[in-house]
Amino acid sequence: MTKIAVIQFKASADKSQNLRQIVDFINKSASRGAELCAFPEFMMFYTTLQQSPRELASQAETIDGNFVRTIASAAKKNTIEVIGTIYEKSKKKDRVYDTSFLVDKSGTIRSTYRKIHLYDALGFKESKKLEPGSKISVPIKTSVGKLGMLICYDLRFPEMSRTLASSGSEILVVPSAWVKGKMKEDHWLTINKTRAIENGCYVIAPDQVGNIYCGRSLVVDPYGKILLDMKKKQGIGIVEISIPKVKKTRKILPLLHNRRTDVYSDLKL
């Protein structure tokens, strides 16, 4: 069994304040024996609807900027892996990438992923401020298992989770800022459980709480059992996971093996 830490907090509009809080969460997660610490989407800072695309872009950083360097330093100091997110600068002055990253125990950035499905739905239009990524990142080996990376709205597209699982992911990590609304928490719980069940893997889904977001950070096991539900509480949730359980589940419920990829295709009318 391996301990992982899930962080649920309310990011403020102050990047420096959030960064201090993030480093403190990393320190405390390591002191509680966690091998990996996972943060929610938009942890860098909270951006209001009134903030212009250019104002947002002016606060964004590159992946090797101070924000990620500080987190990498804390990861190295505490010998813990960290998954976080940033607003990453793009070539456009009024658009940024919504990017997740994995830092290993030596403080090295091992993987990055730019969100490909922007939340242009239910009254929101993320594409007004964000630039979509163009590829799914290859699953990466870590001390806790092989990880596939998604972000928030990506959960609603089963093709992506399935691609990551069929490519070897034993754990899907989904930093999120799930917006409140009609049936939204029901969707959140149902989709996270479904992605775990249909792929026989763990789903680790840290979520923002407060402001316009739901909270309810989750860890779901490969058979669909919710191991952690942080409700509306800010702080650290510690969960133990077991990769042998993934292998056992995939053996008794071989969904990936039983797929008929020879038959699946768009139907011609």
57-74: per-residue pLDDT in tens? 999 999 999 999 999 999
Alpha helices in the chain (DSSP H): 15-31, 53-59, 66-78, 158-166, 184-199, 243-252
Q: Which residue has the tokens 């789903």?
A: 203
164 CB-near residues (< 8 Å, 6+ apart): 136, 139, 148, 149, 150, 172, 199
Mean pLDDT across the chain, nearest whole number?
97
- 3-class state of residue 230 by DSSP: coil
Find the mean pLDDT for residues 127-132.
97
pLDDT one-digit tens code per residue, 188-208: 999 999 999 999 999 999 999
pLDDT in the model for residue 20: 98
Domain boundaries, the chain: 2-252
Q: Which of 21, 95, 23 is nearest to 60 (CA)?
A: 95
The CATH code for residues 2-252 is 3.60.110.10
Q: 135 vs 36, 82, 153, 164, CA distance in Å?
A: 24, 22, 15, 12
**Cβ distance 139 to 113 under 8 Å?**
no
- Number of CB atoms found within 10 A of residue 221's CB: 22
**Cβ distance 11 to 41 under 8 Å?**
no
Q: Confidence band (pLDDT; 50, 70, 90) for 267? A: confident
Q: 185 vs 38, 57, 119, 172, CA distance in Å?
A: 20, 30, 16, 19
pLDDT in the model for residue 87: 98
Residue 269 has pLDDT above 80, yes or no: no
- HSE-up of 242 (CA within 13 Å, CB side)? 8
Find the mean pLDDT for residues 34-51.
96
**Cβ distance 116 to 155 under 8 Å?**
no
Write the single-letter amino acid at 184. Answer: K
Rounded to whole angstroms, how far apart are CA atoms 164 and 110?
Answer: 17
- 3-class state of residue 53 by DSSP: helix
